[in-house]
Amino acid sequence: MRAEPTGSPDTILVCVRGNSGAGKSSIARELRRRHGRGCALVEQDYLRRIVLRERDRPGGVAPALIEQTARFALDHGYHVVLEGILHASRYRAVLTSLRDGHRGRSLFCYLDVSLPETLRRHLTRPQAGEFTAEQMSGWYADHDVLGWPDELVLPETTSFAEAVETIAAAAGLPQAGRDDGPLRVTP
């Protein structure tokens, strides 16, 4: 099955995946902040939990909304930073469709963080009281990589700054941090 073309040769798609507490949201937000205007942030948690108020279970509609949102931004000339747990078992088809259909550069990154480190990091987060270590253990998927030859897998020893710089460089995502001037938008 051929993926529907999306974006342009000039757009960049970056996908940051990993378990809860791995640092993907912070990294994705920093990538977007450093890039400035013209870069859309597509957060799995926001679309699934806030917009749809849906649990992450097989058969849900969140994967389709996430794909549609990323495609919309790419088709309108935005670079996209997509982030979320995005379990391979439920999101592989959507991620494959985005990768195969995107006309520009795409980078899929997995933050490979062990369960003990995930739980340690969780204690430092503002949402630490929202769910327990036991709940996080139930969600944890060990080494949930996509297995693609060009997938960037970062170990838990990678610092926040190193992760941001490595991902930006590997994706070719400019880090100019411009918030002024007109947006480069194509209909």
CB 86 within 8 A of CB 45: no
- pTM for the predicted model, two decimal places: 0.91
Yes or no: say if 62 and 56 are a contact pair by the CB < 8 Å rule.
Answer: yes
Given a cut of 90, whether residue 183 has pLDDT beyond it is: no
Identity at 7, one-letter amino acid code: G
The average confidence (pLDDT) of the chain is 92
Residue 128 and residue 75: Cα distance in Å, rounded? 37
What's the rounded Cα separation, in Å, for the pair 139 and 8? 35
Which residues, including other chains, have CB under 8 Å from residue 98's CB and lie 6 or more apart?
Answer: 3, 6, 13, 15, 67, 70, 71, 82, 106
Reported as a single tens digit per residue, the pLDDT across 70-87 is 999 999 999 999 999 999
The CATH number for 12-171, chosen from 3.40.720.10, 3.40.30.10, 3.40.50.300, 3.40.50.10470, is 3.40.50.300
The answer to whether residues 76 and 10 touch, using CB atoms and an 8 Å cutoff, is: no
73 neighbors 42 (Cβ within 8 angstroms): yes
pLDDT band at 187 (very low <50, low <70, confident <90, very high): very low
CB 137 within 8 A of CB 115: yes
Tens digits of residue pLDDT in 93-108: 999 999 999 999 999 9
> pLDDT tens for residues 145-174?
999 999 999 999 999 999 999 999 999 999
How do the domains of the chain map onto residue ranges?
Answer: 12-171
- The one-letter amino acid at 71: R
